[in-house]
Amino acid sequence: MELILIIIGAVFVNNIVLSKFLGICPFIGVSNKVDTAIGMTGAVTFVMVLATLVTYLIQVYILEKLGIEFMQTVSYILIIAALVQLVEIILKKVSPPLYQALGIFLPLITTNCAILGVAILAVQNEFNLVESVIYAFANAVGFGLALVTFSGIREQLELADIPEGMKGVPIAFVIAGILAMAFMGFSNLV
């Protein structure tokens, strides 16, 4: 039951983008088309789960054992950057079509603060390894839900008659705010 609450909480109630405001750059920048949003979601899901798994193990078995928890942020950033590079190298060798499909998304994930935020939040919430991985996956699903929903709305806005001063980023921010308020409706769910 606790795992279900973690999932519902991460996807809807405490959505990483719309509630915690992490990962706003790809949320705004990659949300012009649904196809690119889905590609970004897949890449973020893979890296977020893998990064949370590795950073949890580093936290428990190295940082806490040596009493150097203050190195958490620096070590997490290095781990995330190394994982993204490793994933990029492996995909380039193993699956060139997938590597080409992800394109610029992989390097962008290195600077996605949602990845770092989820890894740190998993430790702060004192989750065990299984809960941390499920928390990371649920946050990635929440990120994807917000991103794909937002990109679908932005595609429809291209067909709408919008005043010239509101076209582009201004209307995107208004819609993002409305979407965040809509997700606030889930606040008493968990």
Grouped pLDDT means (10 residues each) for the chain, 190 residues: 92 92 84 82 88 96 96 94 85 80 73 90 96 97 94 90 89 92 84
For the entire predicted model, the pTM comes to 0.89
Q: State residue 122's pLDDT score.
A: 96
pLDDT (0 to 100) of residue 28:
83
17, 146 in Cβ contact below 8 A?
A: yes
Position 133 scores a pLDDT of 97
pLDDT of the residue at 3:
93
Question: What pLDDT is stored for residue 35 in this prediction?
Answer: 82
- Supply the pLDDT for residue 98: 72
Using alpha carbons, select from 173, 146, 122, 111 the residue that is nearest to residue 16. 146
C-alpha to C-alpha distance for 1 and 7, rounded to whole angstroms: 10
Q: Residue 77: CB partners within 8 Å, gap ≥ 6?
A: 116
pLDDT of 108 reads 75
Per-residue confidence (pLDDT) for residue 89, from 0 to 100: 87
Mind giving me the DSSP string for 44-91? HHHHHHHHHHHHHHHIIIIIHHHT-GGGHHHHHHHHHHHHHHHHHHHH
